[in-house]
A and B are shown apart, each in its own frame.
Chain A
Amino acid sequence: MNGIPLELGLVLSAVLFVLGLIGVMVRRNLIMILMSLEVMLNATGLAFIVAGSRWGQADGQIMFLLILTLAAAEVGVGLGLALQIFHRFQTLDADSVNEMQG
């Protein structure tokens, strides 16, 4: 596993992270926002794994497992919220569910 240099792996994860971030900021559909969030989480996970493999440590993979669990929980809650929002507003547009008057 020495073929891929550390820099490339990190650049890939950074690109993925920024893409996810742009998705969160630009997308209006809640499902798409959640998917972009997944991309961001996986980008961080990739960074951990690349770093772990560079130094031959298991810590990076353990961290990735943790992130995976976190992502699963987050998706569970996020999809539940999306479902409720759709029930109430008949839409998944994040901008039009704004009920704040301030």
Chain B
Amino acid sequence: MIELLGWVPFLPFLGFLILAIAGERLSRRLIPWIGAGSVGISALLTALIGAQFLKGAMPPYRLALGSWMAVDNLSVPFGFYLDPLSMTMLFVVTGVGFLIHVYSAEFMESDPGYARFFAYMNLFVSAMLVLVLADNLVLLYLGWEGVGLGSYLLIGFWYEDPNNGYAARKAFVMTRAGDTSMAIGLFLLFTQLHTFDIQSVMTQATNLWTPGTVLPVAAAALLLGGAVGKSAQLPLQSWLPDAMAGPTPVSALIHAATMVTAGVYLIARTHALFMLAPSVQFAVAVIGAVTLLMAGCSALAQTDIKRILAYSTISQIGYMFLALGVGAWSAAIFHLLTHAFFKALLFLAAGAVILCFHHEHNIFRMGGLRKSMPLAFLSFMIGSAALSGLPFTSGYYSKHEILLAAFEVSPVLWTAGCLGALITGIYSFRLVFVAFFGPQHAQVEKSPGWRMSAPLLLLCILALAGAMLEIPLASVFSALAADENLHELNTVSAITVAAPFIGVLIAGLFYLTGAFSTQRLESLVWIRQIQRFFFSGWGMDAFYNILLVRPFKTIARLNKNDAVDSIYSATAFLSLMFHRLFSSLQTGQVRWYASSMVLGTIVIIAIGWLS
């Protein structure tokens, strides 16, 4: 069964090809079968491979499919590498991806670009699978750029609105900034270690380099740049909230469950390198902690349901970075897994609310959806509970593990994490209380059908019980197994558990019981200013606007006539001039021609005479 590994990324690619070539000519009943079916079979294959793989002794499995390029001493094979880490990612990508595809079959049903949507989604899933399965860094980079392309296409899916196109370009350009850094990192690794194979890079790096020297620090920092861009961490995080311009299933699949966690996967995959660069690893933790606080605060001030979730995604990936930074590798991957479940659940439920509610995004215009949309309410309750890390949900176990591991390294990081958990509790239940409780402001148009309900129910179960999926990652991160044996820290543990509860309580006091009024708070000027600051995502957009966008536009305006191009336009201009000159000589006057010939002859004779 495991030999069929190559089909797992290939099937969605096949689906993409069929949908891209046949496109809207296919019957609309067939399109979701191809789109969701290809991912479904992949998911089934993954489940079978996983069952076989996890049952055995789990030696890493390599599948060589052929050579991609081989020049001199550089050879890049098409090879897949399966170990518990990529197995986990496979489960997430195909499993959650399949549920989201089924959901999209109904969500996008009335869209004219139905086939195009599924083609892009399949392309994305295929690229993501290549990314997680790749056994060498170049193939990983191929998948990495492939998901970037898929993300760009899907954010700008409704391209008629120029704002969506702008959001897509923003996401593409900002992640590209990170990707460039990552590419340089890959070149550095290759020039130093003469191989692209991830496992040999890691072993060679461990053998050749002493920890903390320039080379591993530079390589790790450059790879971190790529991870930061893709995973929307500080300072490249501001593209993700705008990426919500895409259809909601896209936000669920790409900008919550899979693609944005690629950075976490990359760091976990190359963790040996990061262990050689303790300063960079600490920077990962600090980036994670700062990002999770900043994004949490921003989520507090948002009113758009999808933007709240987007900021919460940034914040949760911040937790994963924090875990990576403190060396709790498997906790990070564990949180990635549970986060994929509950964030996909939240986004899909938000999509159901938006679809059934006149395409309304503002939570303050919803209200009282508890009774009219019971399934969405249930999904949101479970999703938010898991997001805030309330006990007995999947999010609790993963987040708890991260926070305790953070305390081992630095109480400051732990404090930041706990504060973040508190904020998470506030904003996630603020959303629930505002949108689902209180008086209802408008009527619900329709209720979701089975293709939307079934994925929601399944994800509800996964978000609750996902923590029971024990992925034996110890074999991947064996070097660190000892570090993760956590001591009993009763007070710390208690505070960690209590933090989200306090957050929920605060949200309840403000938005449910009305014991505190937000209007009273907003009447204070400085609170309003802070709120506006948070709403704008800590002014990152304005910052980049001044730092990059405006200078670029100025240069573009100055160079409107393109200095380099003037050489070529001068050539064209001269040709045109000569053309005019010579064609004006062609008068069609026979006598004029004869006279010219006479004149020419006289000149030639004169030259011969005089010389």
Q: Interface residues, chain A, CB within 8 Å of chain B?
A: 21, 24-28, 33, 94-95, 98-100, 102
Contacts and interface: CB of A to CB of B under 8 A. Distances in A.
Contacts of A94: 589-591
B545 to A, nearest CB: 55
13 contacts: A21-B598, A24-B591, A26-B591, A27-B591, A95-B589, A95-B591, A98-B587, A98-B588, A99-B588, A100-B586, A102-B583, A102-B584, A102-B588
B561 interface: no
A21 B602 CA distance: 13
A51 B589 CA distance: 36
A94 B591 CA distance: 8
Most chain B CB within a 10 A radius of its CB, from A25, A27, A33: A25
B71 interface: no
Contacts of B587: 98, 100, 102
Nearest to A100: B588
Given A21-B598, A102-B583, A28 B591 contact: yes
B588 A25 contact: no
Contacts of B586: 100, 102
Query: What is the interface of chain A mostly: helix, strand, loop, or mixed?
Result: loop
A20 B589 CA distance: 18
Given A102-B583, A102-B584, A25 B589 contact: no
B598 A25 contact: yes
A24 B594 contact: yes
The size bracket of the interface on B is 10 to 19
B595 interface: yes
B584 to A, nearest CB: 7
A27 B587 CA distance: 17
A94 B595 CA distance: 14
Contacts of B589: 94-95, 98
Given A21-B598, A98-B587, A100-B587, 11 more contacts: A24-B591, A24-B594, A25-B591, A33-B590, A94-B589, A94-B591, A95-B589, A98-B589, A102-B584, A102-B586, A102-B587
Interface in B567-606: 583-584, 586-591, 594-595, 598
Nearest to B601: A21
Most chain A CB within a 10 A radius of its CB, from B584, B587, B589, B590: B590
A33 B594 CA distance: 11
B609 to A, nearest CB: 15
A98 B593 CA distance: 12
Contacts of A25: 591, 594-595, 598
B601 to A, nearest CB: 10
A27 B589 CA distance: 12
B394 to A, nearest CB: 81
Contacts of B598: 21, 25
Contacts of A21: 598
Nearest to A21: B598
A4 B583 CA distance: 50
Nearest to B585: A102
A45 B584 CA distance: 37
A18 B584 CA distance: 28
A41 B589 CA distance: 22
B429 to A, nearest CB: 81
A68 to B, nearest CB: 23
